[in-house]
Each structure stands twice: as structure tokens, then as C-alpha cells.
Amino acid sequence: MTAPEELRLRVQLTKKGPARYLSHSEFSRAIMFAARRAGLPLEYAGQFRARMKLSLSPPLPIGVTSECELVDFQLAGYLSPVDAQQALNEAFCGGIEVVFCRLMGSGERPVGKLIDTATYRATFPEEAGAREEWERAVAEFLAMEVVEFERVQPRRTRTLDLRPGVHSLELEDGAGDSPVRIHMALDDGTRGTIKPWEVIEVLARMAGVPRETWERALVNRLGLFARRGDRLVSPMELGSRKPAVSHRGGKRY
């Protein structure tokens, strides 16, 4: 008899409402405390100060909401995904909810080493100018070979090229008076990170929209993926017996 395979629980969470104001470290703390309250059979590392074995998807900027935050828990025993989802949902608060749980073998890459792409939707306030301006800006952005952006960080400021990290960018359809919505797929994770605000800032500059206006856009992370060629593959599908599903052709997460 062979030893049973080690199990991993992959959980998809939302981060909405008040939880959008949590930093990445606060969010991961909330996840660990909830997992302990939920009584999951968790695997720990370390002799004296035990550390929960988990892997988290790439950080979300403070203020951005999300439909899809991922966490992999290493399990010490079996637990059905349905029970896990119920126990976890009872242990979360403040806009964090469990969307989906699945069990998988621990041979697969954990989310922290798997995710390389994120999709976002930015919804702009009414005063954000005409659709045409934004349409033009999006077309201009996509036509450029290099999009220079000055990234200001606490310790250093550097200029980088956003263009290779932007995999899709489009204005969503809408009637004349509906708010402007932009959908984008950006590098996020193992292959580098482009923040949605960086793309929005460049587009807004092209569209002539002032900072005070575009800063009030609501940004929502829709999905996290691993790129396989030019396909976006959901980490919820990977490692299962079902064939990986392609999300080309307009279907969005």
C-alpha cells in the first residue's frame, strides 16, 4: 500500500465591501485566523512557532475589490470541499466570502507559483468624459510598441514599459449614458506585475481625464489565471481530470 497523497485545499474568495481596505498582510492574517476558527485539518511547518502551510495569490492593491482571491491550504487530513466551504464561510466576515473550494493533490503548483495573469474591470464615474475619448485612448495604447510609465515606490522610482504586460484591453459595450467600463488582462504574479491603476493612469492621460476623476474609478479583480500560450487557464481547472478550459473568445471571469 502506498501512503495517501498529501492533499491541498484550493479556495476562491471574494474581497469586497470593507475588506477592500485590507492590505495584503491584513488579508492573509484574516484568512489564517478564519481557517483556524473553521477547524480545517491544517498542516503546519516549524517546530516551536508553527506556521500554517499555505500559498496565496498575488497581492491586491488596497481599495481594489475582487471576485477571485486564491489560497491553497496544505491539509493534514481529508475534508470534503463542501464541508470546507461551509466551515470557512461561517468563519469569515467583513466582505470575504468563499466562492468555491476544491481538493487537489499537492503535486500541482501552489497558487503563489502558478498565477501570472489577472483580469480587471474598471468602472469610471459619470464625469469621466465621453466614451469616444476612452475608445481612442485604448486604441492608441494598443497600437503603441512601448508604453513608458514612471513607477514611484517608497525606495526607488523607475521607468518601465507597461506594454508587454498588458495582454488585453478593451472598452466594454454600453449604451450612450452608461458608465465607461474598461476590461483588462495584465501580468500579475510569477512573470511580473502591472497594476491596474498604472494602465488607467496612462489611458486617462491620453483621454484628457483629470486625476481627481479617474482616481474615483472602482476597480474589481475578476479572475486570476495561468497563461498557456495565448489561453488563460483557470487554476480551479488545473490538476483536475477534466480538460483545461480555454477562455478565449469573450468569455470573462
> Where on the chain is the footprint of another protein (CB under 8 A)?
17-18, 21-23, 25-27, 29-30, 32-37, 39, 42, 44, 48-50, 62-63, 91, 93-95, 215
Residue 204 has φ and ψ, to the nearest 5°, of: -65, -35
Q: C-alpha cell of 221?
A: 479583480
- 144-to-164, 175, 202, 204, 218 alpha-carbon distances in Å: 10, 28, 12, 15, 26
Q: C-alpha cell of 16?
A: 469586497
Nearer to another protein, 17 or 174 (CB): 17
Nearer to another protein, 164 or 179 (CB): 179
Residue 213 has φ and ψ, to the nearest 5°, of: -85, -55
* Strand intervals (E) in 115-217: 117-123, 148-152, 157-161, 166-171, 181-187
Nearer to another protein, 6 or 215 (CB): 215
Nearer to another protein, 30 or 138 (CB): 30
Provide, rounded to whole angstroms, the least separation between the CB of residue 75 and another protein: 14
Provide, rounded to whole angstroms, the least separation between the CB of residue 81 and another protein: 21
Helical pair 131-143 and 196-207, crossing angle rounded to 10 deg: 110
Provide, rounded to whole angstroms, the least separation between the CB of residue 12 and another protein: 20
Nearer to another protein, 47 or 159 (CB): 47
Provide, rounded to whole angstroms, the least separation between the CB of residue 215 and another protein: 8
Provide, rounded to whole angstroms, the least separation between the CB of residue 109 and another protein: 26
